[in-house]
Amino acid sequence: MRCLCFIAVSFSLLTAAEAEEVSSSRARKYSKTLQTLVQAENEEELVKFIDRMGELDHPRSVVLIPPAATLLPSKANYERALEVIGTLENADSVAALIKSFKKARNLNDKILLLDAFGHRDDKPTGELVLEAFGNKILRIQLTGLRAAGRRKLKDAVAPLIAMVDARSVDRDLLWLESRRALLEITAQDFEAAADWKKWWNNVRDSFDPNEVPAEGSRTVVVKKSAHAVEFFGTEIFSRNLVFVIDVSGSMAMFDQGELKRKEAEKARIRLERARKQLLSVIASLPKTARFNIIAYSNNITAWQKSLKPATRSAIKSARRFVQGFLARGATHTDDALKRAFEDAEADTIVLLSDGAPTRVDFPSDYLITQILKNISNQNATRKLRINTFGFEGTGLWPDKIPGQPGGPRPTPTPKDVELFVDFMKQLAEDNYGSFQPVK
């Protein structure tokens, strides 16, 4: 009760201060209010706090917006902070945020600010967005590329083309996001840097991004490469990735496809197909890549504590780990994703499963709702790309499963499969990724 009273008093102070200068002492009171709201996990009052700090539009108030949106993970508050910062009018407030970005130790605050600068059109924040291209931290680089695309910065075109050129061999996320930013700014899409340079040399002087017609969502077209890193036919651009592989009991099932049952039972066991693809993709990782593997059922087993470089010895160790996969237990997708987010340097999760999340104490539809909400909140600042892969069929059980007792086993219904596929699609769509069905 004491905490709630404090919040009420604090917000009465906010309202009373509407027309007043934000003194140092008042700023300290706002800071204490922020701490109290975070400790109380009061998401609704935090968004009001963000709005109020923006209304004051004072250097001492606006610097409290980033922690208000990041200390308690919330997609809604994060997006509100972007809107508020994007509409600030006081040049001194913007200067304070730029200074805060440069001095901030909290990476999440830096990401939010840079993302928010992508919603502005003033010169100082535009210059900071361009500077982010050369930052040593990949998350800041990627956020800067996206911000430049959103702002349609003409000054970003040349450095973006240079980035496409420099990353064309690696074909990593910097290469892909540079191309996406260029597409947003210019409505053009070339794979080769030479074609970009030729086009830009011809139009640079007359080009105005504001005259580019809005055509809704545009998609970068990526041609197949002999050196592409692929998983079930989908190219993986990340070089800092976590493979999250379902090894629950249903992964012992097989999908008949066009084969006869006996042939399919030998050739199309889900876990064996997953194992084969995983072994292939880790063997094709470039030396610049770092990776980890998490196998999950009702138990979560990680190959390593954190990402490891794709050296020969690491790949050999990872192969042994993958060879040891056994189909057992339930499908605790929530715990698996939670563990994947603990790899602080990962920028991509590759999730493969064949069924909706399951727990003894909660139904799948409830678990799905909670997972989607929790991941969206956690990923607001983290911006992990989640690519999902799902076995779409109801599947068939082999006559015998080594190490497992015989007898009747539950078979998913078409409705179960629909619930699962919708979940995997939504998870990818909400988190910068794509869904690939595995038939």
Section 346-361 average pLDDT: 95
For Cα atoms 68, 74, 76, give the angle at the middle one, nearest 5 degrees: 95
Handedness of CA 268, 274, 280, 284 (dihedral sign): positive
DSSP class per residue in 169-212: TT--HHHHHHHHHHHHHHS---SSHHHHHHHHHHHTTT--GGGS
Question: pLDDT value at position 8?
Answer: 43
pLDDT at 11 over 60: no
**In the chain, pLDDT over 90 holds for what percent of residues?**
85
Per CATH, is 230-396+409-438 categorized as 3.30.70.20? Answer: no
pLDDT at 400 over 70: yes
Question: pLDDT value at position 224?
Answer: 84
For 309-313, 320-324, 346-350, 399-403, which range has the lowest pLDDT when averaged over its residues? 399-403
Q: What is the pLDDT of residues 178-216, one digit of tens each?
A: 999 999 999 999 999 999 999 999 999 999 999 988 766
Candidates 85, 37, 86; CA nearest to 61 is 85
Q: What is the pLDDT of residues 76-85, one digit of tens each?
A: 999 999 999 9
d(CA 270, CA 353): 9
What is the pLDDT confidence band of residue 403, given thresholds at 50, 70 and 90? low
**Domains in the chain: boundaries:** 2-134, 152-223, 230-396+409-438
Question: pLDDT value at position 407?
Answer: 67
Question: pLDDT value at position 205?
Answer: 95
Determine which helix (DSSP H) or strand (DSSP E) holds 32, and give its type and residue range: helix 24-39
pLDDT at 3 over 90: no
- Residue type, position 181, single letter: A
Section 108-136 average pLDDT: 97
Question: pLDDT value at position 17?
Answer: 43
Q: What is the pLDDT of residues 376-390, one digit of tens each?
A: 999 999 999 999 999
Whether the CB-CB separation of 401 and 272 falls below 8 Å is answered with no
Section 400-416 average pLDDT: 79
Quick count: other Cβ atoms within 10 Å of Cβ 172?
21
Q: What is the pLDDT of residues 15-61, one digit of tens each?
A: 444 445 899 999 999 999 999 999 999 999 999 999 999 999 999 99
**pTM, 2 dp:** 0.91
Question: pLDDT value at position 43?
Answer: 95
Quick count: other Cβ atoms within 10 Å of Cβ 88?
22
For residue 58, CA distances in Å to 51, 69, 85, 352, 359 come to 13, 18, 12, 48, 49
For Cα atoms 63, 66, 69, give the angle at the middle one, nearest 5 degrees: 140
**In the chain, pLDDT over 70 holds for what percent of residues?**
93
Chain-centre distance of CA 218, in angstroms? Answer: 19
